[in-house]
A and B are shown apart, each in its own frame.
Chain A
Amino acid sequence: MIDWIDYLPPENIFLTDPTRRKELPFFDTAVQAGFPNPADNYIRQRLNLQDLCVLHPDNTYFVKAVGESMLGDYIFPGSILVVDSTRPIETGMVIVIWVNEGWCVKRYIDKSPMIVLESSNENYAPMYLHPDRDRVAVLGEVTYIISKPPRYARPR
């Protein structure tokens, strides 16, 4: 008998998809009731980088950095950027934006009616854009940067 307190917590209710069937092995022998594996309760899924970096899979794009304008923000040529388009862009975000014929990654600053796109490499000047004069299109905000460690250069 089920005690009335023995309710099913809502987080234990799962939606199942009966269209995909998988056969499970059936053991036709008596089960030895030995000492259970004490670690069983602690087995969890292995860590997956996707879970960490991609919060909104449907709104996420991967792009590759090729320039050096954002070195100060740890974006190197060859870095893979995780770009999320869920949130509208705000001042201070590093964004991927298309400006007059090309995609670039820059820090976005809203100075209405102008917008400023700053680089983090002092060799690159900030870009001042006016919505009437310049055509822009925003892909999204850079949420993670994936890079290899820099090559080892042997000291001379």
Chain B
Amino acid sequence: MYALVDANSFYASCHQIFRPELEAKPIIVLSNRDGNVVARSAEAKALGIKMGQLFFETRELVDAHEVVVFSSNYELYGDISARLMSLLTQFTPDVEVYSIDEAFLQLEEYTGIYPTYRGLGQTIRDSIRQWLRLPVGVGIGPTKTLAKVANRLAKIKPELNGVCVLDTKEKIDEALWGFPVEELWGVGGRSASKLKKQGIRTAYQLREVNDDWIGRVMTVNGLRLVHELRGLPCKLLEVNPPPRKAICTEPGFGKVIPDLNNITDALTTHLSRICEKLRKQESLCGAVTVWLRTNPHRRTPGNYLPAKQYSSSVTVRLPHPTSSTLEIIKYAESGLKAIFKFGYNYQRVGIMLTDLVPADYRQVGVFAKGPDERLIRLSAVVDKVNKRYGQDKLRLASQMYNPEWPMKPAYLSPRYTTRWEDVLEVK
């Protein structure tokens, strides 16, 4: 049996841990630069605020209903998530961290300690509530897909008290009977519309289809899904996640900029940031991709016609894997120059580092030398200095330096568990 444990509106709930007065209040959390809504509490969802909606569009609702607004506080979310995942291993040793707020647990052979699945689910829920003050839902089923279905039902049916167990054929049948096919794990918008064309609207109908047919319509993934719905585990627990294969960032400029120098400055700044990340996870990257695009929704001021659009990307393969900002920036800049076109108002520049290998990987090519070890050591020193004295204290000269940029989020909250200056004060 598998259990899926996930936190209810995780980002919003993290803010409620240390602010109990916000429980049962509408809360929204904004993206990195306060641009979009990235998380909503159940109460904010009920007001009709949508995921990904632009913040200024929600302004009226926010003012009218006294919605509490937070800028995203990833330090807090990250720490609470790490605590949650670590605590879940107390219930069973096999835990797959599926996302920042979800984990699969394998429940085989623990029936001696936990007589019923429902009791175990309730224990997990109550313990996490006491330990972290975090509300979680638990779904239990014979496969990961069914555990996901159970978790969804635990959320929408209040009478289940946050725990849903699908352990008998009757319960599974009943759960799948009315379950919309597009809400299944791994069914995207396109597969869903394909299935609906064939008259398949519920998970129950999908489970009964012919194997060959589903293999043709939805490839092997669809076949796996159908097997999982029938109770045959196809997706197994991945306890040791593979290291990340790519690191990527695509920040907006805040305002549109047409000028190559400014874009290069922004590129350097963000590249330094993701190279830091690369070195932190002890990897080297073998290729860098740069892309550039205009705002697809922008209209020309004056005549209000859609503005002219441009977007392009280029991948530069490095002669040898490296993690040095100095080396990577050379290739990223030449890539940017190659795709830059004069005369457009650009909104975003993106960088992605791919072909990651472990930091101790060295392969000397026939024509290429290995990476310059001195540069890699230099980067390590730069990281150390910046960790001690603050971000960007030691930086490349080509990096734009404007203390007001990147824009400071306006609705910051304390990082209660990771900064001494931010700890909770009690009377």
Partners in one complex: yes
Interface residues of A (CB under 8 A from B): 19-21, 23, 58-59, 61-67, 69, 80-81, 85-86, 88, 96, 98, 101-105, 135, 137, 139
Decide if B426 touches A61 in the complex (CB within 8 Å).
Answer: no
- Contact A66:B416 (CB < 8 A) given known A86-B131, A137-B20: no
Decide if B424 touches A63 in the complex (CB within 8 Å).
Answer: yes
Shortest beta-carbon distance from B418 to chain A in Å: 10
Q: Which residues of B contact A66 (CB under 8 A)?
A: 425-427
Is B300 an interface residue, CB under 8 A from the partner?
Answer: no
Decide if A65 touches B426 in the complex (CB within 8 Å).
Answer: yes
Q: Which residues of A contact B425 (CB under 8 A)?
A: 63-66, 103
Decide if A19 touches B243 in the complex (CB within 8 Å).
Answer: yes
Decide if B427 touches A102 in the complex (CB within 8 Å).
Answer: yes
Is B83 an interface residue, CB under 8 A from the partner?
Answer: yes
Shortest beta-carbon distance from A54 to chain B in Å: 12
Assembly CA distance A67 to B21 (angstroms): 20
Interface size for B (C-beta < 8 A) is: 24
Decide if B424 touches A103 in the complex (CB within 8 Å).
Answer: yes
Shortest beta-carbon distance from A86 to chain B in Å: 7
Q: Which residues of B contact A102 (CB under 8 A)?
A: 427
Decide if A98 touches B20 in the complex (CB within 8 Å).
Answer: yes
Shortest beta-carbon distance from A101 to chain B in Å: 6
How would residues 191 to 223 of chain B score, 1 for a CB under 8 Å from any chain A CB and 0 otherwise? Answer: 000000000000000000000000000000000
In B372-427, the 8 Å CB interface with A consists of 416-417, 420, 423-427
Is B130 an interface residue, CB under 8 A from the partner?
Answer: yes
Decide if B427 touches A58 in the complex (CB within 8 Å).
Answer: no
- Additional A-B contacts beyond A19-B243, A64-B426, A101-B21 (17; CB < 8 A): A58-B83, A58-B131, A61-B424, A62-B423, A63-B426, A64-B425, A65-B426, A66-B426, A67-B427, A81-B426, A85-B130, A85-B131, A96-B424, A96-B426, A103-B425, A104-B426, A135-B21
Assembly CA distance A120 to B59 (angstroms): 47
Is B237 an interface residue, CB under 8 A from the partner?
Answer: no
* Chain A to chain B: the 6 pairs with minimum beta-carbon distance, closest first: A67-B427, A137-B20, A63-B424, A104-B427, A58-B83, A103-B426
Q: Which residues of A contact B20 (CB under 8 A)?
A: 98, 135, 137
Which residue of chain B has the shortest Cβ distance to A142 in the bound complex? Answer: B426
Decide if B131 touches A103 in the complex (CB within 8 Å).
Answer: no
Which residue of chain A has the shortest Cβ distance to B130 in the bound complex? Answer: A85
Shortest beta-carbon distance from B103 to chain A in Å: 14
Assembly CA distance A64 to B420 (angstroms): 9
Q: Which residues of B contact A139 (CB under 8 A)?
A: 133, 424
Which residue of chain A has the shortest Cβ distance to B358 in the bound complex? Answer: A21
Decide if B132 touches A80 in the complex (CB within 8 Å).
Answer: no
How would residues 86 to 108 of chain B score, 1 for a CB under 8 Å from any chain A CB and 0 otherwise? Answer: 11000000000000000000000
Q: Which residues of A contact B282 (CB under 8 A)?
A: 20
- Contact A80:B423 (CB < 8 A) given known A61-B416, A61-B417: yes
Assembly CA distance A130 to B331 (angstroms): 67
Chain B's interface: helix, strand, loop or mixed, by majority?
Answer: mixed
Which residue of chain B has the shortest Cβ distance to A63 in the bound complex? Answer: B424
Which residue of chain A has the shortest Cβ distance to B126 in the bound complex? Answer: A88
- Contact A103:B427 (CB < 8 A) given known A58-B83, A61-B416, A86-B131: yes
Shortest beta-carbon distance from B237 to chain A in Å: 17
Assembly CA distance A69 to B86 (angstroms): 35
Assembly CA distance A133 to B20 (angstroms): 16
Assembly CA distance A62 to B425 (angstroms): 9
- Residue of A59, A62, A64, A81 touching B87 (CB-CB under 8 A): A59
Assembly CA distance A98 to B427 (angstroms): 10
Assembly CA distance A46 to B210 (angstroms): 65
Shortest beta-carbon distance from A139 to chain B in Å: 7
Q: Which residues of B contact A80 (CB under 8 A)?
A: 423
Assembly CA distance A57 to B225 (angstroms): 39
Shortest beta-carbon distance from A80 to chain B in Å: 7
Which residue of chain A has the shortest Cβ distance to B83 in the bound complex? Answer: A58
- Residue of A21, A69, A81, A105 touching B360 (CB-CB under 8 A): A21
Assembly CA distance A111 to B416 (angstroms): 32
Q: Which residues of A contact B427 (CB under 8 A)?
A: 65-67, 69, 102-105
Is B240 an interface residue, CB under 8 A from the partner?
Answer: yes
Q: Which residues of B contact A67 (CB under 8 A)?
A: 426-427
Which residue of chain A has the shortest Cβ distance to B23 in the bound complex? Answer: A137
Q: Which of B87, B133, B282 has the most CB of A within 10 A?
A: B133
Q: Which residues of B contact A63 (CB under 8 A)?
A: 423-426
Q: Which of B18, B87, B240, B427 has the most CB of A within 10 A?
A: B427
- Contact A64:B132 (CB < 8 A) given known A21-B360, A101-B21: no
Assembly CA distance A81 to B427 (angstroms): 12
> Can you show 10 pairs from A to B with CB atoms below 8 A apart?
A19-B240, A23-B360, A58-B87, A59-B87, A61-B424, A65-B425, A65-B427, A66-B427, A69-B427, A102-B427
Assembly CA distance A151 to B426 (angstroms): 22
Shortest beta-carbon distance from B380 to chain A in Å: 15
Assembly CA distance A67 to B426 (angstroms): 7
Assembly CA distance A59 to B134 (angstroms): 12
Assembly CA distance A63 to B18 (angstroms): 11
Assembly CA distance A19 to B160 (angstroms): 41
Assembly CA distance A139 to B426 (angstroms): 11
Shortest beta-carbon distance from A145 to chain B in Å: 12
